[in-house]
Amino acid sequence: MWKTIARRLLILVPQLFALSLLIFLLAQLMPGDALRGFIGPGTHPDLLERLREHHGLNDPWYQQYWRWLTAVLQGDMGNSITFQRPVIAVIGDRIGNTMLLSIMASLFTYLIAVPLGILAARHKGTSLDRGTMIYTFVALSIPTVVMGLINILVFALTLGWFPPFGAVELSAHAAGGWTAFSSRIYHALLPAFTMAFLGTVSIIYYLRNEIIDNDSSDFVTTARSKGVPENEVYTRHILRNALLPVAGSAGALVVLIFSGSIFIETVFTFQGMGQLFISSIRGRDFPVANALIMFYAILNTLAILVTDIVITIIDPRIRIK
Amino acid sequence: MPKVSEALLEIKNLHTSFRIEGQYYAAVDGVDLTVFKDEVFAVVGESGCGKTAMALSMVRLHNINYTRMDGEILFHGSGSGRPQDILKLKGAELNKVRGGHIGMIFQDPLSALNPLHRIGQQIEETLVYHTDLDKERRKARAMELLENVGMTDPALTYTQFPHELSGGMRQRAMIAIAISAKPDLLIADEPTTALDVTIQAQILDLIRALKKEMKSSIILITHDLGVVAEMADRVAVMYAGQVVETAPVTELFGNPRHPYTRSLLHSIPGAAGGENRLHTIHGAVPDLRGLPRDGCRFSRRTPWMPGDAHEAVPTYHEVGPGHYVLCTCYKTFRFEE
């Protein structure tokens, strides 16, 4: 098992290297260059040329890449054009909010989906099962953005249960400590629920079908033939095997939630990385946009890595000798 | 084999029906059988004859949501004075019989073992429910069982997962699970079908040796007549959910009477004596829903036989000591020219 995990970690190094190269080259392919923001109608071409030379933009791409890579590795991602502050600081302000939102969304997803999937499978064919299936159809067919607007209208504006926008109350933020934290949680509840809605669908489907399949599988028949009581058959044999594909899809789900946060944060005017990403693209703030693309790319790679490791631990068939 | 014939399992008028699109169809349709103590009882027939359906019925392993069972399955197990009707047992009593008094061996040992549990754990699971051994003793017992079933390195196998074992080793592990609580009866459902020929022989030898040692009975479900000849004391031939012939093994091979039994024996390569073409049985076993439910069920596959050769409602005829045949068509049966 440790060999498999070690091997998987080793593969990560060239993976991240290739990823950084890809992102750098994509940025190079974009029309214009880093000076685009400085160009005005009166800008003299000679000045531009001198600036290009000064910033090393006339160097071959691999030299530029190397400079960029070493800077990034030292934590220097450049400055945001819009905010006129280091990119790291700009992202640092937002990352906590997005993390909190995504963790809560993931939590809600599993808290809703796992019990529903289990109940639907155990009561297959009953109205409970059919109700769950109707829920999945609805959750699958309503776009997250529309769902967000509906939730704001119903739960925030009409019922007044949740705040309709923002990530934290300004006064609570100033107070700090527990007051600030609970205010953050309160603000994240509605957007997190909205995000969880879509993610539950695939988990419910997977779990329900896996439980039904496993229930009639040979090894479960063996367990019953051994005189194992039905409840134990269920937890020890059926459920554990049925959870394998759910665990296997966990990484993909986390990525789905993070990328979903791009839209949800915009709908809820939630000050997180997703909203920052949209505004940086709109404002042509490429240092910020590039850093965020890199963040999402690395997150994706890490999520898959963690999934692989988790599966290695729970499924002995994956392990390499 | 001379022995005191004391009944261990009596099946009386067993019907096992499965629901298909809202209607129940009997896969086991009125079976009467008695399995004696300390014998190997074989059940043979083509695929789809109801052999496995019957084997799983014996400890009620069918999904109750779409299965209906009628009749009686009287089990004279050790420990209880009076016979128990397995079909009437409550959950906890049934679980005591399962694994404790009746052990099961299945056809495909890979799918029959839990892929996520170590072999040792899977053996010990039976011990947890049927013995009062503590953790340490259970482990010692599991090791002993692994050795008994011929594992060369029990300590290693104990920690291995099913996918790490070969097919033969998996079936040995399965057997170790089945015998772990020293059951009175082993039900082996096609135990060698998924194995290659040399391994088949080893597994059969193992089952035979264990049977001798444990003094338990074995119900051997198979479609392999070679296995029957080698292993069984008595044989029941099943067709379309019914037993068409029962006899001691030498009698069945030496003096087969029912047309179906004779056709099966005739279909063994090399057994037909001088014929170049292999004999095949006309037609196929009908689908469960299309199963004939009246008259002699095999008559559809012997269309050249005159209709009056069969009984309208077939009954069993004793044609020798312990040798019973269903329907009268055995008297005039001839193979098609």
Please give the mean pLDDT across all residues of chain A: 83
Of B63, B99, B161, the CB nearest to A225: B99
Q: Mean pLDDT for chain B?
A: 89
Per the CB < 8 Å rule, is B116 touching A240? yes
CATH code: domain of residue A144: 1.10.3720.10
Contacts of A223 in chain B (CB under 8 A): 114, 125
Interchain pair B106, A240: CB under 8 A: no
Mean pLDDT value of segment B23-48: 92
Residues in B lying within 8 Å of A, measured between beta carbons: 56, 59, 61, 63, 91-92, 95-100, 103-104, 106, 108, 111-116, 125-126, 129-130, 161, 163, 174, 177
DSSP character at residue B74: E
Put simply, the answer to whether A225 touches B59 (Cβ < 8 Å) is yes
For residues A303 and A79, what is the distance between their CA atoms, to the nearest angstrom? 28
pLDDT in tens, A225-280: 999 998 899 989 999 899 888 888 888 888 888 888 888 888 888 888 888 888 88
In a domain, A42, yes or no: no
Chain A: give the shortest CA distance to residue B95, in Å. 4
pLDDT of residue B324: 94
Instruction: Report chain A's terminal Cα–Cα distance, integer Å.
Output: 8
**A187 vs B119, more confident:** B119
Q: State whether residue A240 sits within 8 Å of chain B by CB.
A: yes
Chain B: residue whose CA lies nearest to A230: B91
Say if residues A214 and A121 touch (Cβ distance below 8 Å).
no
Separation in Å, CA of B96 to nearest CA in chain A: 6
Q: How far is A305 from chain B, CA to nearest CA, in Å? A: 21
- The predicted complex's ipTM stands at 0.89
pLDDT the model gives residue B18: 93
* Range of weakest confidence among B36-40, B75-79, B180-184: B75-79
Task: Count Cβ atoms within 10 A of the Cβ of residue B322 and give its class: 0-12 exposed, 13-18 middle, 19 or more buried.
Answer: exposed
Where is pLDDT greater, at A271 or A130?
Answer: A130
Return the pLDDT at B2.
Answer: 45
The minimum CA-CA distance between B225 and chain A, rounded to whole Å, is 25
Instruction: Taking residues B56-72, report their average pLDDT.
Output: 91
Q: Which of B311, B309, B305 is nearest to B336 (CA)?
A: B305
Percent of the residues in chain A that have a pLDDT greater than 70, as a whole number = 94
Measured between beta carbons, the chain B residues lying within 8 angstroms of A221 are 56, 61, 106, 112
Of A227, A241, A314, the CB nearest to B99: A227
pLDDT tier at A85, thresholds 50, 70, 90: confident
Decide if A23 is inside a domain.
Answer: no
| CA B182 – CA B137 distance, rounded (Å) | 16
| Plot region of A200 (φ>0 → left; ψ -120 to 50 → alpha; else → beta) | alpha
Mutate to test the interface with A, among B89, B110, B114 (most CBs of A within 10 A): B114
CA distance B256 to chain A (A): 34
For A142-164, letters b (16+ CB in 10 Å) and e give eebeebbeebbeebbeeeeebbe
Q: Is A250 inside any structural domain?
A: yes
Q: Nearest-CA residue of chain B relative to A242?
A: B116
Residue-wise pLDDT tens digits, A62-73: 888 888 888 888
Q: Tell me which residue in A226, A316, A317 faces B126 most closely, judged by beta carbons.
A: A226
Q: Determine the straight-line distance between the first and last CA of chain B, rounded to whole angstroms.
A: 38
Asked if B98 and A314 come within 8 Å (Cβ–Cβ), the reply is no
Shortest distance between the Cα of B129 and any Cα of chain A, in A, equals 7
Return all residues near B113 (Cβ < 8 A) that are at least 6 apart: A219, A222, B119, B122, B162, B170, B173, B174
CA distances (Å), origin A14, targets A17, A75, B76? 5, 20, 67
* Residue in B117, B182, B186 to test binding to A, most A beta-carbons within 10 Å: B117
> Is residue A137, in this structure, part of any structural domain at all?
yes
A2 in a structural domain: no
pLDDT band at B1 (very low <50, low <70, confident <90, very high): very low
Residue B118: closest C-alpha in chain A: A316
Tens-place pLDDT, residues B282-308: 888 888 888 888 889 898 888 888 888
Q: pTM of the full predicted structure?
A: 0.81
Q: Decide if A229 and B163 are in contact by the 8 Å CB cutoff.
A: no
* Long-range pairs of A235-239 with CB within 8 A, sequence gap ≥ 24: A237/B114, A238/A211, A238/A214, A239/A118, A239/A211
* pLDDT single digits (tens) B239-277: 999 999 999 999 999 999 999 999 998 888 765 555 567
The span from the CA of B177 to the CA of A267, in Å, is 59
User: Cβ separation of A218 and B98 shorter than 8 Å?
Assistant: no
Confirm if B311 and B294 have CB atoms less than 8 A apart.
Answer: no
CB contact under 8 A, A227 and B98: yes
Q: Is residue A242 part of a domain?
A: yes
User: Which residue of A129, A212, A225, A230 to mutate against B (max B Cβ within 10 Å)?
Assistant: A225
pLDDT digits (tens, 9 = 90+) for B147-167: 989 899 999 999 999 999 998
Q: Is residue B33 within a helix (H) or strand (E), and if so which, with residue range?
A: strand B23-36
Token pair of B55, please? 């084997």
* Partner-chain contact B63 A215, CB within 8 Å: yes
Tell me, yes or no, whether A248 lies in a domain: yes
**What's the Cα-to-Cα distance from A231 to each of A186, A234, A260, B92, B113, rounded to whole Å?**
38, 5, 38, 12, 19
Is residue A24's pLDDT more than 60?
yes
Contact A210, A245 (CB under 8 A): yes
Other C-beta atoms closer than 10 Å to the C-beta of A41 total: 4
Q: What is the pLDDT of residue B291?
A: 85
Q: Is A224 on the interface with B (CB under 8 A)?
A: yes
Q: Is A139 on the interface with B (CB under 8 A)?
A: no
* Inter-chain CB proximity A317 and B125 less than 8 Å: no
Could you report the per-residue pLDDT of B185-217, keeping only the tens digit for each?
Answer: 999 999 888 888 888 888 999 998 888 888 889
Question: Which residues in chain A are contacts of B129 at CB distance < 8 A?
Answer: 226-229
Within an 8 Å CB–CB cutoff, is residue A221 touching chain B?
yes
**Residues of A with CB below 8 A from B114's CB?**
219, 222-223, 237, 241
Contact state of B112 with A226 under an 8 Å Cβ cutoff? no
Residue B113 and residue B91: Cα distance in Å, rounded?
23
Closest residue, chain B, to A312 (C-alpha): B116
Tell me the Cα Rg of chain A.
24
Residue A29 in any domain: the answer is no
* pLDDT number for residue A4: 75
Contact B126 A216 (CB under 8 A): no
* pLDDT of A11: 85
Within a 10 A sphere around the Cβ of A246, how many other Cβ atoms?
19
B interface test, pick of A122, A221, A222 with most B CB neighbours within 10 Å: A222
Q: What is the CA radius of gyration of chain B?
A: 21
Contact A221 B130 (CB under 8 A): no
- DSSP state string for A45-108: HHHHHHHHHHHTTTS-HHHHHHHHHHHHHTT---B-TTT-SBHHHHHHHHHHHHHHHHHHHHHH
Count of the separate structural domains present in chain A: 1
Tell me the shortest Cα–Cα distance from B66 to chain A, in angstroms. Answer: 12
Q: Which domain holds residue A118?
A: 92-304
Q: Which domains does chain B have, with CATH numbers?
A: 1-100+221-337 (3.40.50.300)
Q: Which DSSP string do the residues of B181-244 spell out, in sequence order?
A: T--SEEEEESTTTTS-HHHHHHHHHHHHHHHHHHT-EEEEEES-HHHHHHH-SEEEEEETTEEE
Closest to B183 in 3D by CA, of B234, B129, B223: B129
Q: Dig out the tokens for B123 from the structure.
A: 């053996």
